Amino acid sequence: MKRPIVHKFGGTSVRDAERLRLVVANIAQSRREYANPTVIITSAAAGVTDQLVGLRPDTWLETTRLLRSRHLQIANELGLSEKWKADYAAHFDRLLGECPVGLENYDPATLASIHGCGERLMAPLLAEALVQAGFQAEYIDSAPLIRTDNHYLSAAVDLATSKTQIAAALNSILSDRIPVLAGFIGSNAEGHTTLLGRNGSDYSASIFGAGTDAFEVWIWTDVDGIYTADPRHHQHSKLLREISFRESAEAAYFGAKVVHPYTMWPLLESDTNLRIKNTMSPEKPGTLICHEPQDRGPDLITTAIKGVAIVTVGGYGLIGVPGVASRVFGVISSSGTNVLMISQSSSEHNISFAIRGEDLAITLQALNHQLQDWMEREHRIDRIKVVENAAILTVVGENMRGRVGVAGTIFSALGEAGINVIAIAQGSSEYSISIVVDEAQVFRATDAILEKAGSK
Ligand code: ADP
Ligand code: ASP
Ligand code: MG
């Protein structure tokens, strides 16, 4: 048997009956072109997860009524049978019929099982749309196949166990059926539903790709592929034909929403490639994400994370003291904050790091409290400075490595555009350089870099 192609459809690709018909047509076309078995992973319809995340006991009735009618209307417009719709309505009611006890105190296990309902509502609809078009498609619950830990809303995946479970469940049916599965969800050892984190359906797709030893994983979305900058904001950005796994992981981590940052990880040890394709323009080749791109070209990719705060801990008393960085970062990690970027000047009397704006208060509290000895008694630290409303602008490029002049291009572009650089960090990987700028200047900074680098 040939190796399967895993197709993942994002929220806008399944947002209504019209898009679902396109999805079915795209699957039909890819099966005409490739004789490989097919696995399908779907997101929730656009906006549904946000609605589920916003559910509270007092909005339950109204929101679930809207969700029920939206999904049943899709079934109607697809012309699905009365019997199927009755079963589907019962499926809906089993998932969201009653406001669960626990929602009012934000119990993570309860929240995870509710937030994951959008995918569990879409997967059977898509499976039935395929059946109606003459395919042997079957909805299969994905939660028991992806094993995670107990961090309900953003759980860590046990890849080895998941791969074994996926292979056991899917390999025997792939020769004559198309399994259709919900993205975003998994389950812990007790069998309770967990989530892979927001935007996690891409990650699900590559876990299924690894579990079925897929030939390729196709991420279907609403743009033609990966561009040199977010095409929604930078209309002149260039589409890239091929990029490496490393680059796409780096770009995703630093804010390119087009794929979830973990998507590449399950496939790192395999020869399974990823492809980004546009559901509305299936004839276009999209972007191939592979280990050794043959057609990469010199273009740089720029990404941005907004809403960042830069915290600088400084003082002459830090010079030459061993373990300064480890103590400071130990304090930050104890507060549960994720450090996005670090920059230390060579003189060692300053350590700057970037965190999300929403983590600022708790981080400062932890620093002030736990570094009190260095601040008040020993006076090693004489200042903690904060810059808010900043953005991390990251420039990613495989071809940056060993190429002199890339940093020069970036900084002269920023200088000519009159943009003030607050901090700089070069990734140890040498595939990226991150620059902190004022959030209000990100757009202009991106544009200036793309222009100067010829990547527009
Ligand atoms: P889906 O719902 O299909 O998962 P997402 O909205 O999560 O889609 O991701 C697709 C979006 O990613 C695009 O609409 C685009 O605005 C955004 N994006 C950000 N950076 C890039 C980039 N460099 N190339 C392409 N798209 C990007
Ligand atoms: N529906 C989930 C979300 O909105 C997962 C996904 O779409 O990838 O985060
Ligand atoms: Mg997405």
Same domain, 355 and 421: yes
Same domain, 292 and 306: no
Beta pairing, strands 38-42 & 178-182:
parallel
Compute, in angstroms, the gap from residue 200 CA to the centroid of ligand 3. 7
* pTM (2 d.p.): 0.95
Closest CA to 15 of 39, 49, 40: 49
* Segment 239-269, tens digit of pLDDT: 999 999 999 999 999 999 999 999 999 999 9
Same domain, 349 and 272: no
Closest CA to 455 of 415, 400, 379: 400
Q: How far is CA 7 from CA 36, 41, 256, 399, in A?
A: 12, 6, 20, 29
pLDDT of 348 reads: 64
168 C-beta neighbours (distance < 10 Å), count:
11
Ligand nearest to the CA of 221: 1
Best residue among 52, 193, 198, 260 to mutate for probing ligand 2, ranked by most atoms within 8 Å of CB: 198
Beta pairing, strands 341-344 & 350-356:
antiparallel
For 324, the token pair is: 């300064």
Q: How far is CA 260 from CA 51, 196, 219, 382, in A?
A: 20, 10, 11, 39
Write out the residues surrounding ion ligand 3, Cβ under 5 A.
10, 199
Kindly report the three-state secondary structure assignment for every residue of 26-60. Answer: HHHHHHHHCCCCEEEEECCCCCHHHHHHCCCCCCH
pLDDT of 222 reads: 97
Q: Where a domain ends, among 279, 296, 313?
A: 296
Compute, in angstroms, the gap from residue 321 CA to the centroid of ligand 2. 45
Same domain, 276 and 359: no
Local confidence band at 281 (pLDDT 50, 70, 90 cut-offs): very high
* Segment 353-397, tens digit of pLDDT: 999 999 999 999 999 999 998 888 888 888 899 999 999 999 999
332-354 in b/e form (b: 16+ CB < 10 A) is: beebebebbbebbeeeebbbbbb
Give the chain's domain count. 2
Same domain, 283 and 376: no
Range of the domain at 395: 302-452
CA distance linking residue 420 with residue 382, whole number of Å: 25
> HSE-up of 85 (CA within 13 Å, CB side)?
15
pLDDT of 133 reads: 97
385 C-beta neighbours (distance < 10 Å), count:
11
71 C-beta neighbours (distance < 10 Å), count:
22
Q: Where a domain ends, among 281, 296, 311?
A: 296
Compute, in angstroms, the gap from residue 218 CA to the centroid of ligand 2. 16
> Is residue 102's pLDDT more than 70?
yes
Same domain, 317 and 271: no
Closest CA to 273 of 253, 291, 250: 291
CATH number, position 56? 3.40.1160.10
Compute, in angstroms, the gap from residue 255 CA to the centroid of ligand 1. 10
Atom in ligand 1 nearest the alpha carbon of residue 233? 16
Same domain, 57 and 187: yes
pLDDT of 428 reads: 59
Residues with a CB atom less than 6 Å from ligand 2:
10-11, 43-44, 49, 118, 183-184, 198-201
Compute, in angstroms, the gap from residue 343 CA to the centroid of ligand 3. 30
**Which 3 state secondary structure label does DSSP give 139?**
strand
Local confidence band at 319 (pLDDT 50, 70, 90 cut-offs): confident
| 433, amino acid identity | I
